[in-house]
Amino acid sequence: MTERLRSFTLGLTRTRQQVFGRLVNAIGAGDIDGDTWNELEGTLIQADVGVPAAMSLVESIREYVRASGVTKMDDLQAHLRAELRALLIDPQVFTLSGDPTVILMVGVNGSGKTTTCGKLAHWLQTEHDAKPLLAACDTFRAAAVEQLQIWGERAEVPVIAGAANADPGAVLFDAVSAAKARGANVVIADTAGRLHTRFNLMEELQKVRRVASKAAPGAPQHVLLVLDAITGQNAMAQARAFKEKSGVTGIIVTKLDSSARGGMVFAIRQELNLPVMFVGLGEQTEDLQPFDPDNFVAGLLEN
Ligand code: GDP
């Protein structure tokens, strides 16, 4: 087993045990009637696969079983694997094209944004040989700035922060200038997840985007929406709002290791048509993996 498959298999334990493993076992037990199929569909919907994908999956497996009369578990596993894989697109290559490349991390508080900024900085250093720098653009919460500083130390990257309640756009502008001065080629900006009612979160994000485009040509190259897998359908509702208003280019699904709702990844593809770029599989610096559909599906079904 490769290292990457191992981390997907470990990280997806809950979703596998509570959802896809049950599916495989139920079908494998033979004795299937109409109720079993309804139950399977319900299990998939509970795992936040989304109603359309759950219905089409169950229908396809049902048809396969009827047509082939399969009794061999291996054949069925292979069919299920192919069907699940077909619901996902090919992996997207994460590119660093800017000078510097600016990455805006957006999402609601608690989704894992700050943690993911640190993990992404680590990943970019180890996999891309990049020189990242973190920008503390969530200036509305002092705790958020402190937490980003802790992650900066862990990932061994500089953190640019402003004074309390500084303008988030000004902090980003400073961070881009600092990157140019220090030869850093990536700026990862942690943005606010909730603002005081006077402010409008989406408007603030649009402002930060505009500042980014003035500070460096073509920026921001990536707007990554961080979604907490534990919150399932709620995260999907957030994603629709962010997609419409803040020009999201890709999704990072965090906390897959603590969630049985990993099926959400299928719903993101089917209902939002946005690429999942990375997944969070734990709380350590190295627990961020580029999303790999083959390993993801294998991790859902592996015994
Ligand atoms: P923010 O408010 O969006 O910046 O969220 P934080 O980065 O502060 O994260 C909120 C909580 O989620 C923290 O306790 C993190 O340790 C935890 N967390 C973030 N990503 C993951 C993950 O992939 N797996 C697990 N198990 N916990 C995570």
- Give the position, in ligand 1's atom list, of the atom nearest the Cα of 258: 26
- Give the position, in ligand 1's atom list, of the atom nearest the Cα of 144: 4
How far is residue 190's CA from residue 176's CA, in Å, rounded to a whole number? Answer: 13
How far is residue 283's CA from residue 302's CA, in Å, rounded to a whole number? Answer: 23
How far is residue 158's CA from residue 219's CA, in Å, rounded to a whole number? Answer: 20
C-alpha closest to that of 141 among 166, 107, 112, 169: 166
The pair of structure tokens assigned to 97 is 């094209």
Residues 6+ positions from 124 with CB-CB distance below 8 Å: 96, 130, 132, 186, 188
Q: What tens digit of pLDDT does each residue of 87-129 get?
A: 998 888 999 999 999 999 999 999 999 999 999 999 999 999 9
Query: What kind and span of H or E run contains 66?
Result: helix 51-68
The overall pTM is greater than 0.75: yes
Q: What tens digit of pLDDT does each residue of 156-180 get?
A: 999 999 988 899 999 999 999 999 9
Identify the residue whose C-alpha is closest to ligand 1 atom 9. 112
Query: How far is the centre of ligand 1, averaged over its atoms, from the C-alpha of 99 (Å)?
Result: 29
Mutational test site, ligand 1, from 147, 283, 285, max ligand atoms within 8 Å of CB: 283
Strands 222-228 vs 101-106: parallel, antiparallel or unpaired: parallel
C-alpha closest to that of 156 among 123, 190, 189, 185: 123
Query: How far is the centre of ligand 1, averaged over its atoms, from the C-alpha of 228 (Å)?
Result: 8
How far is residue 186's CA from residue 8's CA, in Å, rounded to a whole number? Answer: 27
How far is residue 235's CA from residue 145's CA, in Å, rounded to a whole number? Answer: 24
C-alpha closest to that of 241 among 53, 106, 144, 46: 106
Residue 130 gets the label, from left (phi > 0), alpha (psi -120 to 50) or beta, of: beta
Task: Give the chain's residues under pLDDT 70.
Answer: 26-32, 70-73, 195-199, 303
- Give the position, in ligand 1's atom list, of the atom nearest the Cα of 279: 23
Mutational test site, ligand 1, from 139, 191, 254, 277, max ligand atoms within 8 Å of CB: 254
Query: How far is the centre of ligand 1, averaged over its atoms, from the C-alpha of 284 (Å)?
Result: 10
Positive or negative: CA dihedral 48, 3, 155, 125: negative
How far is residue 52's CA from residue 21's CA, in Å, rounded to a whole number? Answer: 21
Query: How far is the centre of ligand 1, averaged over its atoms, from the C-alpha of 62 (Å)?
Result: 38
234 CB neighbour count, 10 Å cutoff: 13
Secondary structure, 3-state, 228-252: EHHHCHHHHHHHHHHHHHHCCCEEE
Residues 6+ positions from 199 with CB-CB distance below 8 Å: none
Q: What is the dihedral of CA 115, 116, 117, 122, to 10 degrees?
A: 100
pLDDT for position 30: 61
Query: How far is the centre of ligand 1, averaged over its atoms, from the C-alpha of 188 (Å)?
Result: 17
The pair of structure tokens assigned to 125 is 């250093």
Q: Ligand 1: which residues within 6 Å by Cβ?
A: 107, 109-115, 147, 193, 254-255, 257-258, 280-283, 287
pLDDT for position 41: 87
Mutational test site, ligand 1, from 14, 115, 123, 140, max ligand atoms within 8 Å of CB: 115
Query: How far is the centre of ligand 1, averaged over its atoms, from the C-alpha of 263 (Å)?
Result: 19
Query: What kind and span of H or E run contains 126?
Result: helix 113-128
- Give the position, in ligand 1's atom list, of the atom nearest the Cα of 117: 7
- Give the position, in ligand 1's atom list, of the atom nearest the Cα of 119: 20
Identify the residue whose C-alpha is closest to ligand 1 atom 22. 255
- Give the position, in ligand 1's atom list, of the atom nearest the Cα of 287: 23
C-alpha closest to that of 173 among 184, 190, 160, 159: 160
pLDDT for position 3: 85
Query: How far is the centre of ligand 1, averaged over its atoms, from the C-alpha of 216 (Å)?
Result: 29
pLDDT for position 136: 97
Give how far Cα 23 sits from Cα of 19, 132, 236, Å: 6, 43, 24
Positive or negative: CA dihedral 194, 198, 202, 203: negative
Query: How far is the centre of ligand 1, averaged over its atoms, from the C-alpha of 200 (Å)?
Result: 24
